[in-house]
Amino acid sequence: MLAEASGLTAWGLSGGTYVAMGLMVMTGACLQGVSGLGFAMFCAPIAALLFPELVPGPLLALGCPLALMTGVREFRAIEWATAGQAIAGRLAGTGLAAWCMAWLSVQTLSLLFAGLILLGVGLSLKGWQLAHSGRNTALAGVASGLMGTITSAGAPPFAIAMQHLPAHRLRGTLGAVFFVGAAVSLVALAGVGRMGAQEFWLSLLLAPWMVAGFAGSSHLKARMHKAALRPVLLGLATFGALGVLAQTAHQAGLW
């Protein structure tokens, strides 16, 4: 009945599959609402393995308004200079990704990025601190553009570079960054025919789950102190890197 009522039969999806997708989206939205990132890092690896019809268009279509809501909620805390540097770096990284893919395989690059993120997490846990500066923010943006274009999970570099920011500034700033990034990506996908009516319809069907997850984060973020946020960011970065490794192994036919 659920599948018939929602029009999901056109996608060949059962009601159970729709609910599973919704729970994934709701969890990712809640994580992003609490920490400022996490939607793509959590959802993209799972969707690539279990729900490939969501990648990349529908997830981007959900992530764009989610980022906007996060930025609006923390509007006064946005560091506009930091956001501008991150966006400029991300755009440069997106353009650089095409050149990298011409010289190295996607699998090689995915393994390289995942390894670097795991190394960064390990060094952070050992006490290494990356200074919050314009240069480091721009470099994180470049890495995010590269990794996001190649693996669909571009947030881990920001988790490493911005882990010491106060929670409200992190959420607001990344909300602005991810909104612009997702909007640009959606326009590009539409231009090459990978974001059409069907992808938009599927994202619309899952939008209530995204809104519910974001609404739930409002109650949790007030309890998220700076000391608790850093482990969440590093945990999400680790999950994203491991997800990229799993996705790469799956695409290579290793399992």
Tens digit of each residue's pLDDT (9 = 90 or more) over 14-34: 889 999 999 999 999 999 999
Task: Give the model's confidence band at 10: pLDDT under 50 very low, under 70 low, under 90 confident, else very high.
Answer: low
- Return d(Cα 152, Cα 40) in angstroms, integer: 7
- Return d(Cα 62, Cα 182) in angstroms, integer: 9
Number of alpha carbons in the 13 Å side-chain half-sphere of residue 77: 17
CA triplet 229, 232, 234: central angle to 5 degrees?
110
Q: What is the pLDDT of residues 207-254, one digit of tens each?
A: 999 999 999 998 888 776 656 788 888 898 898 889 888 888 877 777
Could you tell me the residue range of the domain that residue 69 belongs to? Answer: 2-251
pLDDT for residue 93: 87
**Regarding predicted confidence, which is higher, 10 or 64?**
64
CA triplet 65, 79, 209: central angle to 5 degrees?
20
Q: Are 101 and 109 spatial neighbours (Cβ–Cβ below 8 Å)? A: yes
pLDDT for residue 140: 92
- Return d(Cα 90, Cα 104) in angstroms, integer: 20
Average pLDDT in the 198-203 region? 91
Q: Are 45 and 246 spatial neighbours (Cβ–Cβ below 8 Å)? A: yes
pLDDT at 5 over 50: no
Q: Which residues lie closer than 8 Å to 155 by C-beta, 6 or more apart?
A: 37, 38, 40, 41, 144, 148, 174, 178, 236, 237, 240
pLDDT for residue 30: 95
Which tokens sit at 232?
């969440």
Query: Angle formed by the axes of helices 134-151 and 106-125, to 10°?
Result: 140
Helices (H) and strands (E) in the chain, counts: 11, 0
Which tokens sit at 192?
């090459």
Q: What is the pLDDT of residues 105-158, one digit of tens each?
A: 878 888 888 888 888 888 888 877 788 899 999 999 998 888 877 776 788 899
pLDDT for residue 11: 60
Q: What is the pLDDT of residues 172-200, one digit of tens each?
A: 999 999 999 888 888 877 887 878 888 89
pLDDT for residue 225: 64
- Return d(Cα 173, Cα 21) in angstroms, integer: 28
How many structural domains compose the chain?
1
From the list 73, 26, 63, the residue with the least C-alpha distance to 180 is 63
Which tokens sit at 17?
């599959």
**Regarding predicted confidence, which is higher, 188 or 10?**
188
pLDDT for residue 2: 46
From the list 51, 40, 43, 45, the residue with the least C-alpha distance to 17 is 51
pLDDT at 98 over 80: no
What pTM does this model have?
0.85
- Return d(Cα 245, Cα 240) in angstroms, integer: 9
